[in-house]
Amino acid sequence: MAYKVIINCSDVEDIISLLKKKHGADYARIWRIDGRTIGVFSFERSGLATQAGYVNLITLDHDIITENCDITIIGAGGGFPSLISLAELGDSGAGPVADLVNLAKERNWPINVERAKIKSRGSPCSKCGAAYVYSEDKIEEDRSVACQNCGTRFIVQE
């Protein structure tokens, strides 16, 4: 699941601190270039609690002139993708979207949250939605493949 969060704020440091501390434990990198602050954050976990691994990849682009902070959050993996999605938007504060909404409310910053439209380079499974690129030797005559995530057979999209 992917989300686009746009926050209007003059100073991006509180957002960066939040993302580094809670959602960039595995990787956080910040660049400041020509009036823009660009950041990439990654958080990865695996184990019994998630039934598989999951990753949150977050990109941030703040423009000092327009004061817009454009944040994209991509959640990937997990045995139960719907649970990850609930954590993103839930009231529990468990996910980066909820944390960013709470921070914006505390600071009285205008915020907009929407589902991001991320194009997949692969073919999405009809059951779990995982998308992979399949080599020709894995594709049957009827154009079907077995999902690498859940094993369901589906027709590969061209």
Q: What CATH code is carried by the domain that includes residue 45?
A: 3.30.310
- pLDDT of the residue at 91: 40
Cα angle for residues 76, 107, 95 (degrees, 5° grid):
20
**Upper half-sphere CA count for residue 88 (Cβ side, 13 Å):** 24
pLDDT-derived band of residue 66, with 50, 70 and 90 as boundaries? very high
**Number of domains present in the structure of the chain:** 2
Q: CB-based contacts of 13: which residues, under 8 Å, 6+ apart?
A: none
Q: pLDDT of 82-114, one tens digit each? A: 444 434 444 444 689 999 999 999 999 999 999
- 137 and 59 part of one domain: no
Please give the Cα distance from 7 to 71 (Å, whole number): 8
Q: 56 vs 46, 67, 75, 136, 155, CA distance in Å? A: 12, 25, 5, 30, 28
- 130 and 82 part of one domain: no
Please give the Cα distance from 60 to 12 (Å, whole number): 10
The residue segments making up the domain with residue 87 are: 2-115
- 26 and 89 part of one domain: yes
pTM: 0.67
Q: Which residues pair with 130 in a beta bridge?
A: none
- 109 and 129 part of one domain: no
